[in-house]
């Protein structure tokens, strides 16, 4: 008696996967191949947003909670999910009930919106320090608009450290 052969036709995590069965059906001499679709569930404990959130908001403001999530139905890989959300910030808007994904998160900013910052300007044989206000949050190396004290327009500066930005010239 010949055993049927079973072959999975898809390797990704999806809500439905095709499986090919090949062999001879009872009473027939010819071998046949049949594709059968199976519904897949891949459950994992994952962080889920409790409230809607906007970009440049701390993750704790959207009240994340651990829930069982079907990765296959959401078409997610376990690598897409963060292990911890402490100290993280959102880099895009999110909706309540969505799983928290690594691509939604960024590190805590070194410069906060409307916070005072030290602005450092370098030039040949020159270094100036003055104060200003960041117009949006930023992480190390990111360009943020800064309004210098007493100025009428903003300038772009690169975040260099906690509360410090450098003007590139």
pLDDT of residue 2: 63
Torsions phi, psi for 77 (to 5 deg): -100, 150
Whether the pLDDT of residue 1 is over 50: the answer is no
Q: Cα 125 to chain center, whole Å?
A: 42
Q: Cα 95 to chain center, whole Å?
A: 13
| Chain segment 85-123, per-residue pLDDT in tens | 999 999 999 999 999 999 999 999 999 999 999 999 988
Whether the pLDDT of residue 3 is over 80: the answer is no
Whether the pLDDT of residue 80 is over 90: the answer is yes
Q: What percent of the chain has pLDDT over 90?
A: 62
pLDDT of residue 145: 97
Q: Mean pLDDT across the stretch 139-146?
A: 94
Confirm if 163 and 117 have CB atoms less than 8 A apart.
yes
Strand locations in 10-142 (E):
16-24, 31-39, 43-48, 65-70, 89-90, 105-106, 116-123, 126-134
pLDDT of residue 71: 92
pLDDT of residue 7: 81
pLDDT of residue 27: 76
The whole-angstrom separation of Cα 78 and Cα 70 is 11
Whether the pLDDT of residue 8 is over 90: the answer is no
Whether the pLDDT of residue 164 is over 90: the answer is yes
Q: Does this model's pTM top 0.85?
A: no
What is the rounded average pLDDT for all residues in the chain?
A: 91
| Chain segment 27-50, per-residue pLDDT in tens | 777 888 888 888 988 899 999 999
Element (H, E) at 73: helix 71-74
């Amino acid at each position: 008696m010949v055993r049927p052969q079973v072959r999975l036709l898809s390797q990704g995590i999806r809500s439905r996967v095709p499986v090919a069965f090949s062999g001879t059906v009872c009473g027939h001499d010819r071998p046949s191949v049949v594709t059968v679709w199976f519904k897949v569930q891949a459950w994992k404990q994952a962080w889920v947003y409790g409230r809607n959130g906007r970009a440049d908001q701390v993750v704790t403001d959207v009240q994340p909670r651990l829930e069982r999530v079907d990765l296959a139905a959401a078409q997610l890989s376990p690598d897409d999910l963060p292990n911890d959300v402490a100290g993280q910030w959102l880099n895009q808007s999110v909706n309540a009930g969505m799983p928290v994904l690594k691509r939604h998160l960024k590190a805590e900013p070194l410069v906060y919106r409307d916070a005072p910052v030290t602005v450092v300007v370098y030039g040949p044989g020159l270094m100036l320090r003055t104060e200003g206000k960041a117009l949006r949050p930023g992480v190390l190396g990111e360009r943020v608009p800064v309004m210098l004290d007493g100025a009428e327009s903003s300038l772009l500066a690169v975040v260099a450290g906690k509360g410090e930005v450098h003007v590139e010239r």
